[in-house]
């Protein structure tokens, strides 16, 4: 086994441990909200934002009215729409302002974060707690061999993909129906 392959397996072990720490109840609540809500917005900065984008893409494939905040073509948030903020630290400044704005418009904020006690966690109507180490690892005891927020960002991607599978199960969707909505001008 090469060193890189060894690292790959260590990352998988970390992700496997992370799965055991996720809350089924919080995940199920999110799926129910996706079913009940009119419009869904997802925001995140940097790599956390990239994971959010991939979630929005799949929601679009499932026929949901979902948007990436900050993209050029995005709808307006209205009363009772949901804003999902993916932030490991829960302290990213632009996202704090966004949470405040969404709440002032009557939206519901869902924070997906490591830190429920963060500014965004406290502003949120609902927190989905992720395990892992935030960008600033100095005050976090969670063990990972990975740098910065990598474990959080990977956990986010897999969590969102698991939520997609649960939604598909509930709605009887499959890959074929979803490919029907996939970009065909690629």
Ligand X SMILES: O=C([C@H](O)CO)[C@H](O)[C@H](O)COP(=O)(O)O
The number of residues making up the chain comes to: 186
Closest CB to ligand X among 64 and 115?
115
Question: How far apart are alpha carbons 21 and 45 in whole angstroms?
Answer: 24
Stretch that binds ligand X, among 29-37, 57-65, 104-112, 148-156 (CB under 6 A): 148-156
When binding is defined by CB under 6 A, the residue of 68, 132, 134, 163 that contacts ligand X is: 134
Stretch that binds ligand X, among 31-39, 88-96, 98-106, 169-177 (CB under 6 A): 88-96
> Residue 156 in contact with residue 22, Cβ under 8 Å?
no
Q: Is 155 in the site for ligand X (CB under 6 A)?
A: no
Stretch that binds ligand X, among 43-51, 57-65, 137-145, 177-185 (CB under 6 A): 43-51
Q: Is 121 in the site for ligand X (CB under 6 A)?
A: no
| Edge-to-edge strands, sheet with 82-86 | 66-68, 40-44, 82-86, 108-113, 126-129
Closest CB to ligand X among 49 and 107?
49
Min dist CB 120 to ligand X, Å, is 8
Q: Is 118 in the site for ligand X (CB under 6 A)?
A: no
List the one residue out of 129, 163, 176 whose CA is nearest residue 54: 163
> Residue 69 in contact with residue 42, Cβ under 8 Å?
yes
Q: Is 46 in the site for ligand X (CB under 6 A)?
A: yes
Q: Is 87 in the site for ligand X (CB under 6 A)?
A: yes
List the one residue out of 86, 84, 65 whose CA is nearest residue 76: 65
Would strands 40-44 and 126-129 be described as parallel, antiparallel, or unpaired? unpaired
When binding is defined by CB under 6 A, the residue of 92, 119, 133, 154 that contacts ligand X is: 92
DSSP code, position 150: H
Question: Which residues form the catalytic set?
Answer: 153
Question: How far apart are alpha carbons 49 and 33 in whole angstroms?
Answer: 20
Q: Is 89 in the site for ligand X (CB under 6 A)?
A: yes
| Residues that bind ligand X in the complex, under the rule CB under 6 A | 45-48, 87-89, 92, 134-135, 148-150, 153
């Amino acid at each position: 086994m090469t060193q890189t392959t060894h690292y790959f397996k260590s990352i998988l072990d970390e992700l496997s441990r992370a799965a055991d720490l996720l809350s089924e109840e919080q995940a199920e609540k999110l799926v129910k909200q996706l079913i009940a809500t009119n419009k869904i917005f997802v925001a995140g900065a940097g790599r956390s934002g990239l994971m959010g984008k991939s979630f929005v893409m799949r929601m679009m494939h499932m026929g949901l009215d979902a948007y990436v905040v900050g993209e050029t073509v995005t709808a307006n948030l209205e009363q009772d729409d949901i804003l999902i903020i993916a932030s490991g630290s829960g302290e990213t400044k632009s996202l704090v302002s966004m949470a405040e704005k969404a709440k002032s418009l009557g939206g519901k904020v869902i924070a997906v974060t490591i830190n429920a006690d963060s500014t965004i966690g406290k502003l949120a109507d609902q927190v989905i707690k992720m395990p892992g180490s935030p960008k600033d690892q100095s005050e976090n005891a969670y063990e990972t061999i990975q740098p910065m927020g990598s474990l959080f960002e990977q956990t986010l991607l897999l969590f969102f993909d698991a939520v997609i599978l649960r939604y598909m199960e509930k709605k009887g969707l499959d890959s074929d129906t979803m490919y029907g909505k996939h970009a065909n001008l690629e």
